[in-house]
Amino acid sequence: MYENIKYEVKGNLGYLTINRPKALNALNTDVLAELADALKEIEADDAVKAVIVTGEGKAFVAGADIAQMSKLNAVEGRAMMQAGHKVMNTIDQMPKPFIAAVNGFALGGGCELAMACDIRIASSKAKFGQPEVGLGIIPGFCGTQRLSRLVGKGMAKYLIYSAEMINAEEAFRIGLVEKVVEPDALMETAEKLANTIASKAPIAVAQAKIAINNGFDMDLKSASQLEVEATTVCFGSEDQKEGMAAFLEKRAPEWKKR
């Protein structure tokens, strides 16, 4: 179905893999279009409770496709950036949780793809960076915004202005990734976390993502009210009744609703 990505479902988990290993999984307009289609498929499938995003071969995503971008004028460049924003924002805003399993180079658009996910687990061999200023542009898939929110304004400026590439341990130290593991443990660790999340009440996980993401840039009073509304949604669900009944009855819950 797809030429540049792979998407498969195993149990309650979706696996979304960028599959251009000869190009180090660089993002071009075709990849972005296929990702947009796959995300529609993911959103429509209630059986999928969590998604793992990774790259085929030795790279996660080594950046956007420079060979393609070098030929774009301002109008065409804008269109590509808008397509990238659409993909990253869909991942960020979809109620389902996304886990980036960063197996290698996550540079430029690859770093931005990882940042759009909810949680990032990195191989000890992974490398991160935003090299765009060395190419005459800036991060254009929301990297200037998400990086500063994850690591702080000063560190984001340092990494973007210098185009410095950092290793996984440094990425962990500054808060760009949540966990670093050995390469052979990467997918196992991501799957364990994804299965743990998938075992929780889907509607609660979804509302937690909405509350965290949307409340982050609000003042505390507004964000607190958002949390109240999100919790109210949970209290109106079958999952809330089932989860609390299962706890009191000392049994595993059987979730009904997203």
Give the residue numbers marked as catalytic. 112, 132
To 10 degrees, the CA torsion angle through 8, 122, 22, 2? Answer: 20
Task: Specify whether the CB–CB gap between 146 and 110 falls below 8 A.
Answer: no
From CA 241, how far away is CA 204, in angstroms rounded?
A: 12
Token pair for 2: 């797809």
Q: What HEC string does 13-81 produce?
A: EEEEEECCHHHCCCECHHHHHHHHHHHHHHHHCCCCCEEEEEECCCEEECCECHHHHCCCCHHHHHHHH
Token pair for 253: 């819950």
